Every structure is written in structure tokens, then in C-alpha cells.
Amino acid sequence: MNAGFHVGGDAYDDFMGRYSTLLARLFADFAGVEAGSRVLDVGAGTGALTAELVSRGASVAVADPSPEFVGVLRERFPDLEVHEAPAEALPFETGEFDAALAQLVVAFVTDGPAAVAEMARIARRVAACMWGVEEVDMFAAIDRTAETIGASRATEPRRYRTPQELHDLFAPHGEVEAAELDVSAGYRDFDEFWQAMGRGVGPAGQWVASLDDETRERAREELFDQLGSPSGPFELNARAFAVAVTPRP
């Protein structure tokens, strides 16, 4: 499932990158990435986690099935090994990596259990994180807006977004460690927020792009109200749930 991710790297960064860059630090800490470890960033997108792993001195390879994102990754990280590949079929030898990390990916893959099994095949430690469903201010405000103005939207994927579902996805591979990772992202003003929304990224961005002009304007006004009518800079919170296992040999 790739809806809304065939977009430019800047558009993605503008919409989601301001959150995922902060999340990457917490997630890499949680997964225990150290200098010198050989790490695969699975579903690397525009490289928010990749940059964090590189800055820690890890030896990093990346994979993503989106040709657009692979292009961005090759440009941003010319020295890294970049593969166009889905999590379900990783082009690596068994046990080749110390760790395989998937940040904000498992809800989007076609086959979650197959993806985690494949990560567990190639790595000695496997970790994933996903935003919660209710715990992301931005998505909650967009959902309330869509409901209030009666313009239904394709929701964010709902799979593997709760601690229980993530636990169950990983449990076949070992004892599951879990954590809550909290970040908050800042916006200069509402216009900056709305512009990022209008760039067609992910299900929310696609929803905005699908609206006719009049409905889009109603959505903009309602969203402004839903965010508390900010007159200047404001922050939105987001919580991700993370799980990790050290797969049984």
C-alpha cells in the first residue's frame, strides 16, 4: 500500500518530516543503535531515520519500494547502499544486519507478518514504530474536520497502530519490548500548516487535494477552528508506539 507516498521529498518533509525527524532520535535510542552497527532502514522514505542512523556512526543501508523516494534517498545519501525493495522481500542474506528498523512503515506494507518475518530473517534485532490513532493531534483534527463538514476522507491506515497490535505482530519472533515515543512539532502559523497539508502527502494530503475549491475552503476554516484558531506559532503533539525483538535464532 503506497497511497500518497508517490510525492516529492520536500512535500513529504514539509508534511510529516518535521515529526519523523524528532521521532527518529527517540526510535534509534529505543532500538539501541550504536556506532559501527550494520543497520537497515526499512521503508526509509525521504530518510528521516537514515540521517539519524548515519549521525550515530552506524553502517547504514536503506530500502524503500517507492521509486520516487529511492531517487530522493540516492540524492541525499550518495554514499549509502539504496535498494528499491519492499519489506516483504529484502534483497539481503540471512543475518546480514545487526538491526532492521522500520519507522512509520508497518501500517503501510501489504503483508505485515511477512514484512516482520523478513526483517527477522536478515537482522539480529528488529524494531518498528507507528503513530497512534488518537494520539496524533494533526490527524485527530483532520478527522474531526472531515466529519464536521461532511466530506468523508480515506482514513489513515488503522492496522498496527496500537500497542497491542504491534505486540501481536512482533510476538512470533521473540520477547517484545515496547515504548511510547512522544514528540511535538512547531509551526510558524496556520498558513504554514495548511500549505503542508495541501501538498498531497499521505491519506490526509490526498483528501485535501480531492476536495473541490469550495469544500477545500470550508475544510481550511474548520481545521483552523479545530486547532484552536492559532494567531501565531503553535505546536502539535504526536505519540508513536514502538516495539522491538531480538529474534530467536
Ligand X SMILES: C[S@@+](CC[C@H](N)C(=O)[O-])C[C@H]1O[C@@H](n2cnc3c(N)ncnc32)[C@H](O)[C@@H]1O
| Region from 104-112, 135-143, 153-161, 222-230 binding ligand X, contact rule CB under 6 A | 104-112
- β-strands 234-245, 177-187: how paired? antiparallel
- 5 forms part of the interface with ligand X (CB under 6 A): yes
Under the binding rule (CB under 6 A), the answer on residue 160 touching ligand X is no
At 30, the amino acid letter reads: F
Q: How far is the CB of 215 from ligand X (least distance, A)?
A: 26
Q: Map the footprint of ligand X across residues 49-88, applying CB under 6 A.
A: 49, 64-66, 69, 86-88
Sketch the per residue contact string, 27 through 46, with ligand X: x for CB under 6 A, - otherwise.
Answer: ---------------xxxx-
Q: At what angle do helices 213-226 and 137-149 cross, to 10 degrees?
A: 130
Using CB under 6 A as the binding rule, whether residue 131 contacts ligand X is answered as no
Question: Which span (51-59, 75-83, 108-116, 140-148) binds ligand X, by CB under 6 A?
Answer: 108-116
Q: Is 173 helix (H, G, I), strand (E, B) or coil?
A: helix
Name residue 158's amino acid: R
Q: Is 110 in the site for ligand X (CB under 6 A)?
A: yes
Helices within 157-201 (DSSP H only): 163-170, 190-197
Sort residue 246 into left (φ over 0), alpha (ψ -120 to 50) or beta. Answer: beta
Beta-carbon count within 10 A of 88 CB: 17
Binding site for ligand X (CB under 6 A): 1-2, 5, 20, 42-45, 48-49, 64-66, 69, 86-88, 103-105, 108-110
